[in-house]
Structure 1
Amino acid sequence: MIDPLAQIVTLLQPSMPFSKAASGAGNWRVDGAGDGSPFFALILEGGAWLSINSQPAIQLVENDFVLIPAADRFAMSSLDDTPAEGNDPARVTKLVDETRHGDPNAQPNMRALIGRLAFGSPDATMIFALLPCLLHVRNQARLVALVQMIRSEAQEARPARNIVLERLLQLLLIEALRSDAAGLETPGLLRGLADRHLGPAIRLVHQSPARAWTIEDLAAAAGLSRSVFFDRFQKQTGMAPMEYLLAWRMALAKDMLSRTTSGMKEIAAQIGYGSASAFSVAFSRVVGVPPSQYAQSARSALKAA
């Protein structure tokens, strides 16, 4: 049986364009505007308050890991907000091996590894819609070790560096998403997979995307009536069953068009269309351009990268 979570993380094609070591001392604060890209932080020492997209702040302590699929605004500050005479909380100092926030001469009360992720998948937005808006994992030794390995690999020009980084980032995402803290409070893929009725149906879609699935087929696999299955699927994942099936087929099609030389007929057959023309019509309606045009643009972009 195919594992949907592993399949989706692999399809994301993760990379890490930016990371840094940061610390805070005294009374410090960072206010910033992100670009909507995924952001992660691992607290190595001490603690801090973190607020994302103007949401209530959460307290982070040593070995906490946070992953935010889309950060537009963020604020990070010291746990102690007692004013310090002569110290500007917003002061930033570049030290030898880290960026210091607050007092550059005081003992740090927080140290962290912070990074931004990027994804090669053209359907990253659709995939992130199925993930928690904030993932907060506490004291998971495997995540701590993975982040430190990623940091070390990113800093050294070793053979096969890019391949190793991609694999480590895939492991990081899988480990974070399958952790007990992978928030099932909001609708998404994780909540759907955790549902004892919906999980088997979602796995079947990923195992056989070419099958001519109907609501009745998937409802039967879930052991539910058609109406109950439809309502439950939409409530738990945030998408209608056929909407999810179409989105997943198009994500696979985009990946194949970008990374393989398969013909339109072969790709159509692999994702459930009886002919190249039927696939072309569906792809053009969803994506906005014909598959041949999309393939040409995607492959040109890969060559230029």
Structure 2
Amino acid sequence: MAENPDSYRDNPASLEDPLSQILSLIDARAVMSSGLRARGLWAVRVAPVGALKCNIIKGGQCQLDVGAARWALEEGSCFLVGANLPFIIGTDLDRIPKAAEDVFAGVKANDCAWLDTGPGPDFHCLGGRMDLPATAGFLADALPPVIVIHADEPAAVRLRWLVDRLEEELSSGSIGASVMAATIMQMIFIEMIRNIPSGQVGSWLAALADPRIGASLRALHQDPERNWRIEDLASVACLSRSRFSARFRSAVGLPPMGYLTRLRIALAQKALAQPGTTITAVAARAGYGSESAFGFAFRRITGVTPRQVQKQASREKEV
């Protein structure tokens, strides 16, 4: 965003729904990773990575273990594991798991590793990952550690259709197939992210399903520069000031003004990376009267200074 007297509203992303807006801001891209075909009784431990990981069960059954929680997964189900979380997948999680880096050693992206542990059931899954840039905290913080979508859920029907199209592209050899496959994988991740459980506490994504709090969140995302007051947001939600504040904090995990600050800082991160933008202009759009006050809030939330963001963006453009 070049410096101008207007606002974040000049960016079409600010007029989209909140999830589309945030995905556009962080520019997170999903890619197909290696799949797995297995036979018998087995377990594989996947080390934590700074990315969202998803798997789609194409055939057979397995179990998923993340922390102290365990799920039984059937053919047609899918799961997404948050960044920096290890997990174990397999048909027998009581055995010592094999390291994923050993199982997938030498396997190219879009191909499947083969794990044969003897007689037993066959299994097939496809995997993908969405790398999260440094600006992705606003999204990552809203996601639960794990999202599981079972085969009998409505979202699973859409995901199966997408996976079928993905496999068609990967095997077609058609021109543009790699771009099509990457686009479909992006759609798979978005489908999973927007199916976050509605009862998730402390998540703006889940809170969008609340008709009253969701309305206030959409209003904030559509006009983040407005001089919002609690009374204004409570009116949008058709609640009293006190009931709105309590309900918002319970659903989102932050007070309304605290959420607005985080949203403005997320928008500022994107703006600072654009050529020709000054810190003074971005600070003003974020509602701060001085660079120093903006810089203090920015560093408190992001861990870096606005100038560091600009320097990093400049270095990346030179590469």
Task: Give the structure-2-normalised TM-score.
Answer: 0.77
Q: Which residue of 1 aligns with 2:254?
A: 239
Q: 2:268 aligns with which of 244, 248, 253?
A: 253
The total of aligned residue pairs comes to 293
Q: Is the 8 A contact 1:154 1:165 kept in 2?
A: yes
Verify: 1:33 aligned to 2:80, yes or no. no
Rounded Cα–Cα distance in structure 2 between residues aligned with 1:154 and 1:256: 36
Q: Which residue of 2 aligns with 1:76?
A: 89
Deviation at 1:243, TM superposition (A): 1.7
Divergent runs of 4+, >6 A? 93-96, 151-157
Deviation at 1:206, TM superposition (A): 0.3
Verify: 1:128 aligned to 2:128, yes or no. no
Give, as a single letter, the amino acid of the residue that structure 1 aligns with 2:286: I
Q: 1:142 aligns with which of 148, 158, 172?
A: 158
Rounded Cα–Cα distance in structure 2 between residues aligned with 1:277 and 1:261: 20
Rounded Cα–Cα distance in structure 1 between residues aligned with 2:220 and 2:177: 34
Verify: 1:116 aligned to 2:129, yes or no. yes
- 1:205–1:302 CA distance, 2 compared to 1 (3 A): same
Verify: 1:300 aligned to 2:312, yes or no. no
- 1:75–1:228 CA distance, 2 compared to 1 (3 A): same
- Which stretch has the larger CA shift, 2-11 or 90-99? 90-99
Q: Which residue of 1 aligns with 2:12?
A: none
SS in 1 for 2:208: helix
Q: Is the 8 A contact 1:44 1:113 kept in 2?
A: yes
Q: Which residue of 1 aligns with 2:194?
A: 178
Rounded Cα–Cα distance in structure 2 between residues aligned with 1:89 and 1:282: 44
Rounded Cα–Cα distance in structure 1 between residues aligned with 2:45 and 2:299: 42
Verify: 1:61 aligned to 2:77, yes or no. no
What do residues 117-141 of structure 1 show as CA deviations (whole Å, max 9, x unaligned)? 2023x23233211122211123323
Please, which runs of 5 or more residues in structure 1 have no aligned partner? Answer: none
What do residues 270-299 of structure 1 show as CA deviations (whole Å, max 9, x unaligned)? 433456565445434544554233211233
Deviation at 1:80, TM superposition (A): 10
Q: Is the 8 A contact 1:30 1:101 kept in 2?
A: no
Rounded Cα–Cα distance in structure 1 between residues aligned with 2:69 and 2:138: 26
Q: Which residue of 1 aligns with 2:10?
A: none
SS in 1 for 2:211: coil
What do residues 92-143 of structure 1 show as CA deviations (whole Å, max 9, x unaligned)? 5878952123426x575210012332023x2323321112221112332322
- 1:10–1:144 CA distance, 2 compared to 1 (3 A): farther
- 1:256–1:152 CA distance, 2 compared to 1 (3 A): farther
Q: Is the 8 A contact 1:47 1:79 kept in 2?
A: no
Rounded Cα–Cα distance in structure 1 between residues aligned with 2:223 and 2:84: 34
Q: Is the 8 A contact 1:249 1:271 kept in 2?
A: yes
Q: Which residue of 1 aligns with 2:212?
A: 197
Verify: 1:19 aligned to 2:33, yes or no. yes
Deviation at 1:13, TM superposition (A): 1.7
- Which stretch has the larger CA shift, 61-70 or 16-25? 16-25
SS in 1 for 2:273: helix
RMSD of Structure 2 on Structure 1 (CA): 3.4
Q: 2:117 aligns with which of 71, 96, 103?
A: 103
Rounded Cα–Cα distance in structure 1 between residues aligned with 2:126 and 2:217: 35
Please, which runs of 5 or more residues in structure 2 have no aligned partner? Answer: 1-14
